[in-house]
Amino acid sequence: MSGQSQITRALFDEVMVPNYAPAGIIPVKGEGSRVWDQQGREYVDFAGGIAVSSLGHCHPALVNAIKQQADKLWHLSNVMTNEPALRLAKKLVDNTFADKVYFANSGAEANEAAFKLARRWALDKFGAHKDQIISFGKSFHGRTFFTVTVGGQAAYSDGFGPKPGAVLHAEFNNLDSVKALISDNTCAVVLEPIQGEGGIIPATAEFLQGVRELCNKHNALLVLDEVQTGVGRTGKLYAYMHYGVTPDILTTAKSLGGGFPIGAMLTTTEIASHLKVGTHGSTYGGNPLACAVAEAVLDTVNQPEVMAKVLENEQLFRQQLDAINQKYQVFSEVRGKGMLLGAVLNEKYKGRSRDFFLAAAEHGVMALVAGPDVVRFAPSLVITPADIREGMQRFEQAVKQVVSA
């Protein structure tokens, strides 16, 4: 088989496992917040590869980082360490609450490490009875069997046999529901500062502070899953910084690599000491290529002017969505922070987020859904105002199409 003309969407159905149902278009090129498909059709990217492409497509700093590292060193395994991994870890430690970093390939793996560490910490310090993990309904923490069980969406974990035990689910933003479950048998409470897949639902300050206090009271760890909210997405390096709440363990991925697979778990020296040599590992974790790219992402994103721009862009998005809504009355509210926003469909259009997502693609804009009732936007953190306006003009045409159908 040769030539691009041979590579069609039909080939997916022929050779790929059918757990995905990708769109008919096949993108082949991206630059900034624009993407082009095989036919040369242009799209404005408001999806960011599901909150991954934090600096858009082919950002010069990232292209330069990977080209330079590609000529130096690709892989070693964790029998040895490497300079990019150590530089990146130092920068993460210097800019967060954490003292120690563990690298993985994805958010799911970072969460797997976090949950295993919480269990091991509790076992070492308190004994085998302290094994319960409290999570929340509608939460999402990855697709390994442990992380999908901790996640609060049974549809993702049902049908694979017996689930890992001692995982309980409270109601997000309901502190009383946590009080009803937490005890001295709880080793960790796990939550996303803004629930992503669950519908872009931010934790309230009172809730997050209350959970922190409950964890302190019961000697449980607070684990914040910042896979989707981290690395500038909310206008701070990590979303916990908005709340005045410090976690014990934090997980990060997605935006950290700007499109190159990497994940990390951050924690304190004392808690980290319980992952002794041999207790956990990852073949590709700390890979020099991944860490070199992630360092370039962090250096680019972690600037006051970039963070300020994220919040300015949020206001522009909200203004544009409000103007569309005044015309077509489809949204009940816009939730989220920074460049992680969810337009919640009102009663009339409930359950139809996919219709808006598909219409958006037809009109040349890539959006996302967050469940059946929310259209999600997670674009580049450095998207230009011109691209936001152009994308929103196209999105308005998509809304008009759905409303008129």
> What does the pLDDT average to over 96-102?
98
DSSP 178: H
Residues annotated within the binding site for N(2)-acetyl-L-ornithine are: 143, 282
Residues annotated within the binding site for pyridoxal 5'-phosphate are: 107-108, 140, 225-228, 283
Give pLDDT tens digits for 331-346.
999 999 999 999 999 9
Residue 1's pLDDT is 39
Give pLDDT tens digits for 51-83.
999 999 999 999 999 999 999 999 999 999 999
Domain ranges for the chain: 4-58+304-404, 73-301
Concatenated DSSP letters of 256-315: GTTTS--EEEEE-HHHHTTS-TTS---SSTT-HHHHHHHHHHHHHHSSHHHHHHHHHHHH
Give pLDDT tens digits for 352-375.
999 999 999 999 999 999 999 999
Closest to 365 in 3D by CA, of 301, 323, 320, 319: 320
Collapse the DSSP code of 170 into the 3-class scheme (helix H, G, I; strand E, B; otherwise coil) and give the result.
Answer: strand
Residue 405's pLDDT is 82
Residue 4 has pLDDT above 60, yes or no: no
Residue 203's pLDDT is 98
Instruction: Look up residue 356 and give its amino acid.
Output: F
Closest to 173 in 3D by CA, of 145, 141, 199: 199
Give pLDDT tens digits for 128-179.
999 999 999 999 999 999 999 999 999 999 999 999 999 999 999 999 999 9
Residue located via tokens 């709440």 = 245
Which fold is adopted by the domain 4-58+304-404? Aspartate Aminotransferase, domain 1 (3.90.1150)
Give pLDDT tens digits for 247-273.
999 999 999 999 999 999 999 999 999
**What are the residues facing 100 on neighbouring strands?**
267
Residue 5: pLDDT band with limits 50, 70, 90: low
Distance CA 212, CA 221 (A): 9
Residue 6: pLDDT band with limits 50, 70, 90: confident
Residue 40's pLDDT is 96
Closest to 377 in 3D by CA, of 346, 328, 331: 331
**What are the residues facing 263 on neighbouring strands?**
104
Give pLDDT tens digits for 191-245.
999 999 999 999 999 999 999 999 999 999 999 999 999 999 999 999 999 999 9
Largest interatomic CA distance in the chain? 64
Residue-averaged pLDDT of the chain: 96
CATH 3.40.640.10 fits 73-301, yes or no: yes
Residue 2 has pLDDT above 70, yes or no: no
> Which are the catalytic amino acids?
140, 225, 254
Closest to 186 in 3D by CA, of 249, 140, 268, 129: 129
Residues annotated within the binding site are: 107-108, 140, 143, 225-228, 282-283
